Amino acid sequence: MTGRFYEITPEIMELANKCSASSIIPSELYTKYNVNRGLRDLNGKGVLVGLTHISDVCSTKLVNGEYIPSEGELYYRGYNVKDLVKGIAPDSHFGFEECAYLLMFGELPTKEQLKNFCGLLSEYRTLPTSFVRDIIMKAPSKDMMNTLARSVLTLYSYDDRANDISLPNVLRQCLQLISLFPLLSVYGYQAYRHYHDGASLYIHTPQPELSTAETILHILRPDSKYTPLEAKLLDIALILHMEHGGGNNSTFTTHLVSSSGTDTYSVIAASLGSLKGPKHGGANIKVVQMFEDMKRTVKDWTDEDEVGKYLTALLHKEAFDHAGLIYGMGHAVYSLSDPRAVIFRGFVEKLSQEKGYEKEFALYSLVERLAPEIIAKERKIYKGVSPNVDFFSGFVYHMLDLPLELYTPIFAIARIAGWSAHRLEELSQNGKIMRPAYRNIGERKEYVPIDKR
């Protein structure tokens, strides 16, 4: 294709301006018609559209008949995620598989059940013959989320029961996708690095005895080596990212598209498209990039005034990407704290000491303290602002020497467990197709024949 095919021509610009002018909706109309824009009220609370057993995101508590902000809590099937993480001893099993079992089947597995479940995932961790050569190696993309979505959609063609949405078959498909996401993501990255950057190509075969976290490190690194601490920290990251209520954008997408009765591969590809967005799963990349810009711009990382001025410049659209955001701060639900960030913080501090990133951790800690104060001064907010899980996750991945291109796919490798649980729950209800309403505010017009315009 010629360069003109991708060019933003004057004609396209003119049509885009027409599109923009015809799409503007005055903000006051949302209040007039009582429309909760973005399916959220002014306090950021989501509009209730469904019921779930799978997880619960808590940010308020009832005091004297009134809900007030509280420290955030996250529950998987009724279990506090803090307790789930604490229950995994440093020298014991890995927790991602245990929590995946919990999310999908509603109970914690016994040792024997967990062993069998891990064996099943290991058995499914095999791609179809020639899939790597024919699909992943051809036309590799610099965006691993697009590569992952394309691979998922292509797996449809290799499944003789792709359209069967009976619960046993969908469970089989979901377990296979949980098993294959590490391979699809990392192999896609290896192909891109080889064909675009000229790097050596490494396609390591997965080992049946390895956990999901270990598999990622094994097939990613040229020598397949990693420390127990690295694998454990990555496992914790997967646990903290695997589920976050039915209302987050990508999980709601899973429910929404599943309600249409379509196949598993189409549903998960749609969820991947949602997760890719910088306002959702792509946020941790923005956090890392923002801090890299901050480290270049701020001369003294310990100077509160200088760091504060940079944060203010971010809000004024005068720094970094000029979006007016301090990435990693604030959450749609949490106000006082994000429990995932709280859990992560302790591990981040330990890892920074072992990896020699104490100065960077001190800068993160300073921003963590200053940003909420600065945001409160500059913006009208309806609830508290605190660091979210993305504030620390990118820093952890950086210290683990994971490439930036895989940050969001690692989120997907974790979240596919939650998506699977929600898809199974949605299909179990055999409910109606989701069909929300939009109010039309356009005026009625008389048609004018083209020769009279």
Residues 116, 101: contact at Cβ < 8 Å?
Answer: no
* Coil/strand/helix, residue 69: strand
* Coil/strand/helix, residue 61: strand
Length of the chain: 453
Of 271, 319, 255, residue with least CA distance to 292: 319
pLDDT at 43: 66
Q: Which range is least confidently modeled, 61-65, 321-325, 388-392?
A: 61-65
Active site residues: 331, 390
Residue 380, both tokens: 């009208």
Question: In sequence order, what DSSP letters do the residues of 96-161 get, joined into one string?
Answer: HHHHHHHHHHSSPPPHHHHHHHHHHHHHH--PPTTHIIIIISSS--S-HHHHHHHHHHHHGGG-TT
Residue-wise pLDDT for 182-224, tens only, equals 999 999 999 999 998 999 999 999 999 999 999 999 999 999 9
CB atoms closer than 10 angstroms to residue 306 = 13
pLDDT at 378 over 80: yes
Which residues fall within 8 angstroms of residue 68, CB to CB, at 6 or more apart?
60, 61
Phi/psi of residue 225, nearest 5 degrees: -95, 145
Residues 43, 92: contact at Cβ < 8 Å?
Answer: no
Provide the pLDDT confidence category of residue 2 given band limits of 50, 70 and 90: low
Residues 241, 415: contact at Cβ < 8 Å?
Answer: yes
Q: Please tell me what DSSP assigns to residue 9.
A: -
Average pLDDT of the chain is 93
Residue 115, both tokens: 């062993």
- Residue 59: half-sphere exposure toward Cβ, Cα within 13 Å: 22
Q: What are the distances in angstroms from CA 388 to CA 62, 216, 422?
A: 23, 24, 23
Which residues fall within 8 angstroms of residue 142, CB to CB, at 6 or more apart?
192, 196, 405
What is the rounded CA–CA span in Å between residue 65 and residue 427? 36
Residue-wise pLDDT for 327-351, tens only, equals 999 888 888 999 999 999 988 888 8
Residues 225, 24: contact at Cβ < 8 Å?
Answer: no
Residues 387, 291: contact at Cβ < 8 Å?
Answer: no
Q: Which range is least confidently modeled, 5-14, 98-107, 367-376?
A: 5-14
pLDDT at 122 over 90: yes
What is the rounded CA–CA span in Å between residue 20 and residue 257? 28
pLDDT at 92 over 80: no
- Residue 121: half-sphere exposure toward Cβ, Cα within 13 Å: 27
User: Is residue 332 within a helix (H) or strand (E), and if so which, with residue range?
Assistant: none
Taking 3-state DSSP, the helix, strand and coil percentages for the chain, each rounded to the nearest 5, stand at 55, 5, 40
* Coil/strand/helix, residue 401: coil
- b or e along 133-147 (b: 16 or more beta carbons within 10 Å of the residue's beta carbon)? eebbbeebbeebbeb
What is the rounded CA–CA span in Å between residue 270 and residue 85? 30
Q: 403: exposed, middle or buried (C-beta count within 10 Å: 0-12, 13-18, 19+)? A: middle
Q: Which range is least confidently modeled, 148-157, 293-302, 383-392?
A: 383-392
pLDDT at 1: 60
Residues 342, 393: contact at Cβ < 8 Å?
Answer: no
Residue-wise pLDDT for 394-441, tens only, equals 899 999 999 999 999 999 999 999 999 999 999 999 889 999 899 999
Average confidence (pLDDT) over 381-406: 89
Q: 112: exposed, middle or buried (C-beta count within 10 Å: 0-12, 13-18, 19+)? A: exposed
Provide the pLDDT confidence category of residue 7 given band limits of 50, 70 and 90: very high
Which residues fall within 8 angstroms of residue 113, CB to CB, at 6 or more apart?
101
Of 372, 307, 373, residue with least CA distance to 334: 372
Which residues fall within 8 angstroms of residue 331, CB to CB, at 6 or more apart?
72, 338, 386, 388
User: Is residue 17 within a helix (H) or strand (E), and if so which, with residue range?
Assistant: helix 10-21
Q: 129: exposed, middle or buried (C-beta count within 10 Å: 0-12, 13-18, 19+)? A: exposed
What is the rounded CA–CA span in Å between residue 145 and residue 187? 12
Residue-wise pLDDT for 12-52, tens only, equals 999 999 999 999 999 899 889 988 888 877 766 788 999 99
What is the rounded CA–CA span in Å between residue 290 and residue 298? 12
pLDDT at 382: 67
pLDDT at 322: 96
Does the pTM exceed 0.85? yes
